[in-house]
Structure 1
Amino acid sequence: MSTDIAVPERNSPVALTSAMVVSLQDQVAALDAAYRLAQSLCKTTFAPKDYRGKPQDGAVAILFGQKLGLDAVQSLQNVIVIHGKPSLEARTMRAVLLAHGHKVWTVETTAERAVVRGRRADADSDEQDEESVWDMERVRKAGYEKRNEKYRTEPTNMLYARALAETCRRTAPELLIGIEYDPNELRDIGPTQATSERVTAADIIAAPQEPEQALEPEPAEEWVDVEVEETPSADEEADQVEADPEGGDPE
Structure 2
Amino acid sequence: MNAVTTTESTALAQRGMGFDLSPQNFEQAMTFSKYLAESEMVPKQYRGRPGDCLIAMQWGHEIGLKPLQALQSIAPVNGKPNLYGDAGKAMLLAAGCEIEEDDTAIIRATGTARCKITRPGRRPVERTFSIEDAKTAQLWGKAGPWTTSPYRQMAWRAFWFAARDAAADLLRGMGGKEEADDLVRSKDMGPADEVKPEPTPYPAEQFAANLPKWREVIQGARKTADDLIAFTESRNPNTPMTEEQKATLRGIKPVKNAAATDVTPKNEAAAPTADPGPAITFAQVSDKLHAAKDVDSLNLAADLVSQVPDTQQQAELNALYEQRLGELERQ
Common fold: TM-score over 0.5: yes
1:136-174 deviations in Å (ceiling 9; x for gaps) = 110001112354442222112111111112211111111
**Match runs of 1:17-28 below 5 Å:** none
SS at match of 2:46: coil
SS at match of 2:178: helix
Cα pair 1:113 1:136 within 8 Å, conserved: yes
1: CA distance, partners of 2:121 / 2:27:
36
Cα pair 1:34 1:60 within 8 Å, conserved: no
Deviation at 1:55, TM superposition (A): 0.7
Cα pair 1:162 1:185 within 8 Å, conserved: yes
Are residues 1:71 and 2:52 paired? no
User: Structure 1 counterpart of 2:59, which letter?
Assistant: F
User: Structure 2 counterpart of 1:129, which letter?
Assistant: P
Do the aligned partners of residues 41 and 120 (structure 1) sit closer, same or farther apart at CA in structure 2, a change above 3 Å counting?
same
SS at match of 1:132: strand
Which residue of structure 2 lines up, in the alignment, with residue 227 of structure 1?
Answer: none
SS at match of 2:134: helix
| TM-score for the superposition, normalised by structure 2 | 0.45
Deviation at 1:60, TM superposition (A): 0.4
1: CA distance, partners of 2:59 / 2:179:
19
SS at match of 1:47: coil
2: CA distance, partners of 1:166 / 1:179:
12
Flag as ranges the 4+ runs of structure 1 deviating above 4 A. Answer: 29-32, 191-194
Which residue of structure 1 lines up, in the alignment, with residue 258 of structure 2?
Answer: none
1: CA distance, partners of 2:178 / 2:102:
21
Which residue of structure 2 lines up, in the alignment, with residue 52 of structure 1?
Answer: 47
Are residues 1:96 and 2:95 paired? no
2: CA distance, partners of 1:104 / 1:192:
34
2: CA distance, partners of 1:30 / 1:147:
45
Which residue of structure 2 lines up, in the alignment, with residue 122 of structure 1?
Answer: 121
Which residue of structure 1 lines up, in the alignment, with residue 182 of structure 2?
Answer: 188
More helix by percentage = 2
Structure 1 unpaired stretches of 5+: 1-28, 195-251
2: CA distance, partners of 1:160 / 1:118:
13
Cα pair 1:90 1:162 within 8 Å, conserved: no
Do the aligned partners of residues 136 and 61 (structure 1) sit closer, same or farther apart at CA in structure 2, a change above 3 Å counting?
same
Cα pair 1:147 1:188 within 8 Å, conserved: no
Do the aligned partners of residues 80 and 105 (structure 1) sit closer, same or farther apart at CA in structure 2, a change above 3 Å counting?
same
1: CA distance, partners of 2:68 / 2:91:
15
Which residue of structure 2 lines up, in the alignment, with residue 141 of structure 1?
Answer: 136
2: CA distance, partners of 1:151 / 1:168:
21
Structure 2 unpaired stretches of 5+: 1-23, 189-331
Higher RCO by CA contacts (8 Å cutoff, separation 6 or greater): 1
SS at match of 1:162: helix
Deviation at 1:105, TM superposition (A): 1.8
2: CA distance, partners of 1:149 / 1:45:
26
Are residues 1:175 and 2:174 paired? no
Are residues 1:38 and 2:33 paired? yes
2: CA distance, partners of 1:54 / 1:149:
27
Structure showing greater Rg: 2
User: Structure 2 counterpart of 1:184, which letter?
Assistant: E
1:54-80 deviations in Å (ceiling 9; x for gaps) = 110001001101222211111111100
Cα pair 1:81 1:87 within 8 Å, conserved: yes
User: Structure 1 counterpart of 2:184, which letter?
Assistant: G
2: CA distance, partners of 1:166 / 1:173:
10
1: CA distance, partners of 2:56 / 2:81:
8
Task: Give the percent of matched residue pairs that are identical in Structure 1 and Structure 2.
Answer: 26
Do the aligned partners of residues 148 and 165 (structure 1) sit closer, same or farther apart at CA in structure 2, a change above 3 Å counting?
farther
Deviation at 1:189, TM superposition (A): 1.3
